[in-house]
Amino acid sequence: MGNTLGKIATFAFWVAAVINLITPFGAAAPWVTGIAIALLVAHAIECIVFRKHIQADPKVPAFQGYLLVLLFGVLHSGQWMNKSKA
């Protein structure tokens, strides 16, 4: 349940960030944009780190896997971290 709520919250943030690009939120606009850029960079690094797992995942095509990691980050790639610990 927590993973789903986290994904909903993350998706809501991305929607807000895109809306902020179209219609800036005033004083909060630079903060939202800065956080979105930092999150995008962090998730892009995750895509590089987990590229073998993304490409080997039989459940989703590689393109969709990369997109999910870019959107949700560790909430999606966490499944591979849990498998490596077991």
pLDDT of residue 76: 79
| Number of structural domains in the chain | 1
What pLDDT, on the 0 to 100 scale, is given for residue 61? 92
Give average pLDDT by consecutive 10-residue segment, the chain, 86 residues.
Answer: 83 95 91 95 94 89 92 80 60
Q: What is the pLDDT of residue 38?
A: 96
Q: Could you list the residue range(s) of the whole structural domain that residue 73 is in?
A: 2-85
* CA distances for 64 relative to 27, 30, 71, 76, angstroms: 35, 29, 10, 11
